[in-house]
Structure 1
Amino acid sequence: MKHICLNLKRFDITPDYGGVNRIAPVEKWAEFILRNTQGKLKAYDGNEVEFDMFFPEEHILNAVSSLEPGSPVNLGCQSIYRKDTLIGGNFGAFTGERPASAMVLAGCRKTMIGHCEERQDKKGILEAAGVKDFSAVNRILNQEIQCALNRGMKVLYCIGERSEEQGQWKEVLSQQLEVGLAGVDLGQVVIAYEPVWSIGPGKIPADKAYITKIARFIKEKTKGAEVIYGGGLKKENAAMLASIEEIDGGLIALTRFQGEMGFYPEEYLEIIRIYMEALQLNKSEIIGGAAHENGI
């Protein structure tokens, strides 16, 4: 199964407030995105690829109400809190947080946990408290994953190394996997690899050889868990990522990086088209090559 995930971050904020939303009024933003994508996504085989969209919390109810019958879109939230409501226990004293129970009731089937921006935020809090042992971040993320799975949610778990960690990438990723996924049913988790050191303006993107090396490492460590590229699936790298056998999809965020930058539904669909067509071409070449070797 391939997984095309969409992280809509805070792309709902309009330019006059410093954001990039030029597509719809905030109150209709989720509806606009779904109305302009889900119909065309139905053209793809649901047994081969699934489409996940992770919305900011306040847009989830609008997104749920905009789902069409038979929509191929799975709705998700952008992480959850490390604790949850419990019958006979905490009934909702979670001011400012997103317990898994609330997200499930709102209509989320999935959640993203451990995105590099979430990791950086937790690391910053620890630094402000004078803590230098950042392994606590992975333990907290593990608690979030456990809460999600206990509520029947599936998880997109993000891992990745920063620039200063590149020389120790194996140790960094091993800890993120071993601690973050301790006691977790990996059948309910897809892992997104984010090479944090290569993401952002002016940085050199990770190449095919590097991504392949990391994906193989993750699959070996997890005994075959599904791995997608979390460093940004876009038009420029869609065909390349489709050619990597160990990569099971990608994470899309911005679709336009220059001019009126932002997320645009038609460009999102174009990225998916390029990726899926390249995937089918690669399959055809593999089948053709096998037939030739067998003398067919």
Structure 2
Amino acid sequence: MARTRRPLIAGNWKMNGLGADALALAKGVADGLGKAAWNDRDLLVCPPATLVMAVAQAVRGSAVLVGGQDCHAKPSGAHTGDIAAEMLRDSGAAFVIVGHSERRTDHGETDAAVRAKAEAAWRAGLVPIVCIGETLAEREAGRTFAVLAGQIKGSVPAGATAAKLVVAYEPVWAIGTGKTPTVAEVANAHAHIRKELGGVTAEAPQVRLLYGGSVKGDNAAELLAAGDVDGALVGGASLKADEFLAIAKAVQRG
């Protein structure tokens, strides 16, 4: 069956990257994408805020997209250390990750805070990648679907459309641990997410859903072939151009 949603492979560099090495990584991805001449999928890199503008300039002229890792809900003001969505847009970003589990855990971000950041992304002309996912304790308690439903309801703003929203399912217990759910578990979670999105937007069937959590070149093809999976949000493996491109290549054509 032909794909109806354009696959998206997004690399979250997290708090990694200094000048020269980061630019070399960005150019490596851009050069690799150019050689592959892929035009049926999107590649996105999300460097630290200090590098968004430089990376955007480094990949200019290529098909590589650039995004931020977080944004503040306000466009400006007395918010030391924060970055506005408008600043990311001005630096060359097209997307921004909001609600990543590391932000929810390390900074106590609530669903309401994530929703406000997603709205800020829209205000600035960015596409938010809204992250959701259950902890190991929640999974073992049989609450996975309830947790995902609650996060969707609380984190996705009203007025969402397929063009203005990406949702990433990242089971917290799989991030950076080397552990991954089975393909069936991923497919079931994504099917549930798409069903719950139906209560938020009429365009739920067209919204891109990404899987994240220890995605690597050697397991990407299997994970990306799961039902309702439209791409991946890649962490550590996105810090190596060859590995990141191998994941992108794993998306099934057609």
Q: TM-score, normalised by structure 1?
A: 0.75
**1:78–1:111 Cα contact (<8 Å) kept:** yes
Paired amino acid for 2:241: P
Following superposition, the deviation at residue 204 of structure 1 comes to 3.9
Aligned residues: 238
Q: Deviations over 1:109-136 (max 9, x none)?
A: 110001110110233xxxxxxxxxxxx7
RCO comparison, higher one (Cα < 8 Å, 6+): 2
**1:232–1:250 Cα contact (<8 Å) kept:** no
Equivalent residue runs for 1:126-205 within 5 Å: 137-166=110-139, 167-187=142-162, 188-201=164-177, 204-205=179-180
Paired amino acid for 2:121: A
**What are the ranges of 5 or more consecutive residues in structure 2 without an aligned counterpart?**
1-5, 198-203
Q: Deviations over 1:168-200 (max 9, x none)?
A: 112211111011113142321111101112334
Once residues 179 and 94 of structure 2 are traced to their aligned partners in structure 1, the CA distance between those partners, rounded to angstroms, is 35
Larger Rg: 1
* Equivalent position of 2:232 in the other structure: 250
Whether 2:248 is the aligned partner of 1:272: answer yes
Bigger Cα displacement from structure 2, 189-198 vs 232-241: 232-241
Secondary structure in 2 matching 1:267: helix
Q: Deviations over 1:242-268 (max 9, x none)?
A: 32131001122212xxxxxx9221222
Following superposition, the deviation at residue 95 of structure 1 comes to 1.8
Once residues 100 and 52 of structure 2 are traced to their aligned partners in structure 1, the CA distance between those partners, rounded to angstroms, is 19
Q: TM-score, normalised by structure 2?
A: 0.87
Following superposition, the deviation at residue 97 of structure 1 comes to 0.8
Paired amino acid for 1:80: C
**2:13–2:47 Cα contact (<8 Å) kept:** yes
Equivalent residue for 1:231, pick from 204, 213, 223: 213
Following superposition, the deviation at residue 55 of structure 1 comes to 0.8
Q: CA RMSD in A?
A: 1.8
Following superposition, the deviation at residue 38 of structure 1 comes to 0.5
Equivalent residue for 1:41, pick from 33, 50, 65: 33
Once residues 254 and 113 of structure 1 are traced to their aligned partners in structure 2, the CA distance between those partners, rounded to angstroms, is 18
Once residues 176 and 125 of structure 2 are traced to their aligned partners in structure 1, the CA distance between those partners, rounded to angstroms, is 34
**What are the ranges of 5 or more consecutive residues in structure 1 without an aligned counterpart?**
13-25, 86-91, 124-135, 256-261, 284-296
**2:176–2:213 Cα contact (<8 Å) kept:** no
